[in-house]
C-alpha cells in the first residue's frame, strides 16, 4: 500500500524555467510534509516543509503548495538551475499518531539542462 | 556544526556474517530514525529510537535485525546472519523533537552482501 506516490519518475526542464514536482498521498492522518533532494551516494538533504494548517510555504527559489482536499502537494523551483539536477523525494508524517516516522514517495529524477 | 554522521560508509559482508551500522545524531538531537533504501525504491522506515528506548520498530524485520541508542555513544543498527536481500543503503536521521519536526539525514551506509 503506497501511501505517498510520485507518479513521474523523471522530469526534464531548461535552465531558468520552472520545475514542478508532484506528489499525492492517501493517508488523511498525514499532517506534515517535506521535500528532500538526493544526489547519488549521498543522504537526502532537506529542502522545505509544510504543515497541514497551511497551503503554501516559500523559501527562496522553492515553494511548496498543499491541496488537502485533493491530497496533493507540489514543489515549484523557480528559476531552475543545473545544480538542481537530483532525485527529489516527497515525504509525509502523521505526527503524534505515528511517532513522526516519514513515509516517502518513490522519487522523481529532475534534470535541468543548461 | 557536524551533521548526522554514519559509519562505515561502505560495508561488505559475506552471507551469514553480522553487520553493524553506526549513527551519531546532530548535536542536541535525541530522536533517531533508521531507513532503508533498496535499489530503485524510495526510503522505507525501519525504527525510531530515543535515548535508551525503542519507540517504534514497526518497520523493522522481526528476525535478525535489532537497533539500540544507548545513553552514551552512537545508535547501532545490527543485522545478524546477513543475506543477499539485505544489500541496500541504510540511512539514519535525527530530529530535535518528535511530531511536526524536520528529520536530517546522514550520508548513509551502503551494505553489500556477497
What is the rounded distance in angstroms from the CA atom of residue B85 to the CA atom of residue A68? 37
Q: Residues A4-17, buried b or exposed e (16+ Cβ, 10 A)? A: bebeeeebebeeee
Tens-digit pLDDT profile for residues B4-63 = 999 999 999 999 999 999 999 999 899 999 999 998 888 999 999 998 899 999 999 999
Residues in CB range of B57: below 8 A, 6 or more apart: B46, B47, B48, B67
pLDDT at A42: 93
Cell numbers representing residue A74 in the block: 507540489
The band of B69, judged by pLDDT with boundaries at 50, 70 and 90, is: very high
Top pLDDT among B102 and A88 is at A88
Top pLDDT among B62 and B91 is at B91
How many whole angstroms from its chain centre is CA A40?
17
Find chain A residues with C-beta within 8 A of B106's C-beta: 43
User: For B1, which DSSP code?
Assistant: -
What is the rounded distance in angstroms from the CA atom of residue B46 to the CA atom of residue B57? 6
CA B57, B63, B65, B66 torsion: positive or negative?
A: positive
- Tell me whether B95 touches chain A (CB under 8 Å): yes
Find chain A residues with C-beta within 8 A of B95's C-beta: 100
What is the rounded distance in angstroms from the CA atom of residue B18 to the CA atom of residue A64? 42
Chain A and chain B share a number of CB contacts under 8 A equal to 71
pLDDT at B98: 75
Average pLDDT along chain A, 114 residues, taken 10 residues at a time: 90 97 95 94 95 96 97 98 96 76 94 96
Interchain proximity B105–A44, CB inside 8 Å: yes
pLDDT at B101: 81
Amino acid at each position: 500500500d503506497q501511501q505517498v506516490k510520485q507518479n513521474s519518475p523523471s522530469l526534464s526542464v531548461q535552465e531558468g524555467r520552472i520545475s514542478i514536482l508532484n506528489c499525492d498521498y492517501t493517508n488523511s492522518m498525514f499532517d506534515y510534509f517535506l521535500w528532500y533532494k538526493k544526489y547519488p551516494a549521498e543522504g537526502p538533504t532537506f529542502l522545505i516543509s509544510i504543515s497541514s494548517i497551511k497551503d503554501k510555504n516559500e523559501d527562496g527559489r522553492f515553494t511548496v503548495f498543499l491541496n488537502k482536499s485533493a491530497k496533493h502537494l507540489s514543489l515549484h523551483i523557480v528559476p531552475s538551475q543545473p545544480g538542481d539536477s537530483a532525485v527529489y523525494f516527497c515525504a509525509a508524517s502523521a505526527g503524534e499518531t505515528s511517532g513522526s516516522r516519514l513515509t516517502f514517495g518513490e522519487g522523481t529524477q529532475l534534470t535541468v539542462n543548461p | 556544526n557536524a551533521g548526522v554522521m554514519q559509519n562505515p560508509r561502505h560495508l561488505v559482508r559475506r552471507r551469514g556474517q553480522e553487520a553493524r551500522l553506526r549513527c551519531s545524531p546532530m548535536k542536541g538531537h535525541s530522536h533517531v530514525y533508521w531507513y532503508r533504501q533498496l535499489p530503485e525504491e524510495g526510503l522505507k522506515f525501519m525504527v525510531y529510537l530515543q535515548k535508551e528506548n525503542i519507540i517504534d520498530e514497526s518497520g523493522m524485520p522481526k528476525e535478525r535485525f535489532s537497533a539500540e541508542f544507548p545513553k552514551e555513544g552512537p545508535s547501532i543498527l545490527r543485522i545478524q546472519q546477513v543475506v543477499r536481500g539485505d544489500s541496500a543503503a541504510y540511512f539514519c536521521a535525527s530530529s530535535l523533537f518528535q511530531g511536526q519536526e524536520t528529520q536530517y539525514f546522514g550520508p548513509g551506509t551502503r551494505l553489500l552482501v556477497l
